[in-house]
Structure 1
Amino acid sequence: MFVRTVYATGDPARLDTALRALNSQGHDLLEERPGFRGAGVFVDRELGKLLTLSWWDSAEAQANSDEVMRERRPALLEPFAASVAVEHYWVAVFHALPRPVVGGGLRVARLEFDPRDADLLADTFHTTALPHLETVPGLARTALLLDRERGRGVAGALFTDRHTLAASRAAHAAIRREGAAKAHVSVVALEEFDVVHADAHTV
């Protein structure tokens, strides 16, 4: 699968306006596009950050949806967004457990690596990080998204609620340190978000 991320920052007081538009008009637009496999909306209400992910069954389906969403996105995000960054990734790992995520929390690690180490990173995440993550209480989903050409990635872990998200920080830090060392990866940013909506259909 493939993922498009949209990362917007703006006035926290205007965040709900953008959420209402995304959850209604934005979701309808995505549902109409061929190859759409689900979406996620995540927020940091205190700082005024909004992260959305849309999942696609092919690079072509993702690219075909780009033009429509590029035209409609500004209206959906107004008047909240002061800055918007759009990125595209290949889904190297996606692992879901049968646990609810409504009201949950998302932790995101942004990664940089030598493009020649992309396969090493994917293998390390799958064989080293994933088995440890599965033992962390409250984990609902985890994924590794890669941009092989630019040597950038996103590792995300979705938890059932904010309490388990907070309680997992020490364990997750140890897993992240071991994995980053083995995969020759730099963690350049670490963020946490509240879950507004999250679904992705891999089959």
Structure 2
Amino acid sequence: MFVRTVYSTGDPSKIDAAVRALNAQGRDLLEDRPGYRGSGIFVDRTLGKLLAVSWWTSEEARRNSDEVMRERRGAMLEPFAATTLVENYEAVVFHQVRRPEMGGGLRLSRLEFDPMDAGLLAETFRASVAPGLETLAGLARTSLFVDRERGRGMVGALFTDGASLAASRGAHAAVRHEGAAKAHVSVTSLEEFEIVLTDVRGG
């Protein structure tokens, strides 16, 4: 599958207005588009960060949907968003252990790698990182997004609740360190979010 991520920062006190608009107007717009497979909304209410992810059956479906969303996105994110970054990725791994639920947690790792190592990254993630993450208590789903041309990626690990997210930090760090060394990637940032919505239909 293919994904589009929308990453916005702004005033934490106004984040719920953006969530409501995305959860209502945004989902209605997405549901009408061919190739739509689901979406997710994740927030950091303390710092004022919002991550919206939409999933598509093909690169063409994702691209066509953005023609509509580009016109409406700004209005839906007002008055919260001061900055917005839109990125596109290929979802090369989607591994679901159990269904994530609202109120759970997401840990997001951003990666950089030599584009020539994209295949190595995917292979390493399937062979050792995903199995390692599956041992973490409360893990619901993990996925790997890559942008092969730019040599950038994202790893998402979703947990059933905030306590499991917090308790996993040490063990997850060990899995992440080992995987990064094997795949020759650099981890450029770590972030944690609350799950507001996630309804991806299949891998």
TM-based fold match above 0.5: yes
Structure 1 unaligned spans of 5+:
none
Q: Is the 8 A contact 1:101 1:158 kept in 2?
A: no
Tell me the matched-pair count: 203
Q: Is residue 202 of structure 1 aligned with residue 176 of structure 2? A: no
Partner in structure 2 of residue 84 of structure 1: 84
Superposed, which structure 2 residues align to 1:179-194 within 5 Å? 179-194=179-194
Partner in structure 1 of residue 58 of structure 2: 58
Give deviations 1:47-93, integer Å, cap 9, x for gaps: 00000000000000000001100000000000100000000000110
Give the TM-score normalised by structure 2.
0.99
Structure 1 residue runs of 4 or more that deviate by more than 3 Å after TM superposition: none
Report the residue type matching 1:72 in the other structure: R
Alpha-carbon shift at residue 129 of structure 1 (Å): 0.6
Superposed, which structure 2 residues align to 1:118-137 within 5 Å? 118-137=118-137
Report the residue type matching 2:94 in the other structure: F
Give the TM-score normalised by structure 1.
0.99
Superposed, which structure 2 residues align to 1:30-69 within 5 Å? 30-69=30-69
Query: Secondary structure of 2:158's partner?
Result: strand
Report the residue type matching 1:137 in the other structure: A
Q: Name the CA distance, whole Å, in 2 between partners of 1:38 and 1:96.
A: 14
Q: Name the CA distance, whole Å, in 1 between partners of 2:201 and 2:100.
A: 15
Alpha-carbon shift at residue 202 of structure 1 (Å): 2.2
Superposed, which structure 2 residues align to 1:91-110 within 5 Å? 91-110=91-110
Alpha-carbon shift at residue 100 of structure 1 (Å): 4.0
Report the residue type matching 1:136 in the other structure: L
Structure 2 unaligned spans of 5+:
none
Report the residue type matching 2:107 in the other structure: R
Q: Name the CA distance, whole Å, in 1 between partners of 2:3 and 2:192.
A: 19
Q: Is residue 116 of structure 1 aligned with residue 116 of structure 2? A: yes
Q: Name the CA distance, whole Å, in 2 between partners of 1:81 and 1:128.
A: 37
Q: Name the CA distance, whole Å, in 2 between partners of 1:170 and 1:22.
A: 33
Q: Is the 8 A contact 2:100 2:141 kept in 1?
A: no
Give deviations 1:8-27, integer Å, cap 9, x for gaps: 00000111111111111011
Query: Secondary structure of 1:200's partner?
Result: coil
